[in-house]
Amino acid sequence: MADLNNNNLKLAIQKEGRLTEETLSFLRKSGLEFESVKPRLFSTCRNFPLEILYVRDDDIPDYVATGTVDLGVVGQNILYEERPQVKKLLNLRFGYCSLIIAVPKESNARNINDLNGKIIATTYPESVKNFFKKNAISVEVVRIKGSVELTPVLGVAQAIADLMSTGSTLALNDLRMIEKIYDSEAVLITNDKITKETEKKKLLDKLLTRFGGVLSAKNYKYVMMNAPEEILPKIKKSILELKSPTISPLVTNGWISIQTVIKEDIFWETIEKLKKAGAQGIIVLPIEKMIL
């Protein structure tokens, strides 16, 4: 690949599609500075020895497996389907979707057993074949490149297996989901080669620290609150996962200010507990980065 510095890390991401914007935004949040103007071919980071290559998402696993690039961002679904020789490094917490099986609304099929002997259209034939094999149900799988949702109307198949995120496509095409095969999200992948290249491995570790910082920050919120000093034990009990909140006295006698972080998934539950315990003036701030 022309003009690329061989000592730099190379990361392949989707050129134009569902993962592109969120991948670029994730990289920028990690502090990487680069231009990304169309037509995107590649970008060189200004402040990190990293080249970003823009390619079709289907090509990413191969580029990583063969060592053409060191890293890639791709939907986990493509890994399940193609089983390439790559190693997953991180779940990136965007690009969420599920591979599901759906039938026309008026179909008699209620569950996967009712699909015995039926034709199923999909862009993910391997995943679908494996799934039915595991469930000992015999189906015929037809591989379709696009618009899988139209195949039942066209008489090509009696059921489909496709990715779903909001469910709108199913609804618009009068389809009903009967089973989920797997969940997927964007992941960062690499190959074994990189572990043998000491300098590159060092760069990768640096990059992973940055990525980890952004992902942890996504998991937590920064919370400040005021409370009478005597309820501190109760408050500490409400924020169990944090061993040592920062506590400082307020001008008002007997009152303290508490600063801490709270995990996103138990956020509301914890805030309610804090309010009940007697915390006041609760302020919540997003965390930009969190280095653990």
Which contiguous run of DSSP H or E holds residue 17? none
The distance of closest approach from Cβ of residue 75 to Zn ion in the complex, given in angstroms and rounded to an integer, is: 9
Among 144, 163, 189, 279, binds ligand PRT (CB under 6 A): 163
CA-CA distances (angstroms) from residue 224 to 40, 147, 274, 284?
43, 49, 11, 6
Q: What region, left, alpha or beta, does residue 246 occupy, with left being phi > 0 and alpha being psi -120 to 50 degrees?
A: beta
Two structure tokens written together for 62: 């191969």
Least spacing, CB of residue 156 vs Zn ion, in Å: 21
With CB under 5 to 8 Å by kind, the binding choice for 168 among ligand PRT, Zn ion, none is: ligand PRT
Residue 165 near ligand PRT by CB under 6 A: yes
- What does 121 bind: Zn ion, ligand PRT, none (CB cut-off 5 to 8 Å by kind)? none
Taking CB under 6 A as the criterion, the residue among 64, 73, 97, 204 binding ligand PRT is 97
Q: With binding defined as CB under 6 A, does residue 67 bind ligand PRT?
A: no
Q: What is the CA radius of gyration of the chain?
A: 24
Decide: is 77 part of the binding site for ligand PRT (CB under 6 A).
yes
CB of 165 to ligand PRT, least distance (A): 4
Q: Which of ligand PRT, Zn ion, none interacts with 241 (beta carbon under 5 to 8 A by kind)?
A: none
The entry of ligand PRT, Zn ion, none near residue 78 (CB within 5 to 8 angstroms by kind) is ligand PRT
Residue 17 within binding range of ligand PRT, rule CB under 6 A: yes
DSSP string spanning 166-225? Answer: SSHHHHHTTEEEEEEEEEE-EEEEE-SGGGG-HHHHHHHHHHHHHHHHHHHHHHEEEEEE
Residue 91 interacting with ligand PRT (CB under 6 A): no
DSSP class of 123 = S
Among 6, 47, 108, 168, binds ligand PRT (CB under 6 A): 168
CA distances from 104 to 17, 109, 119, 273 (A): 27, 9, 13, 46
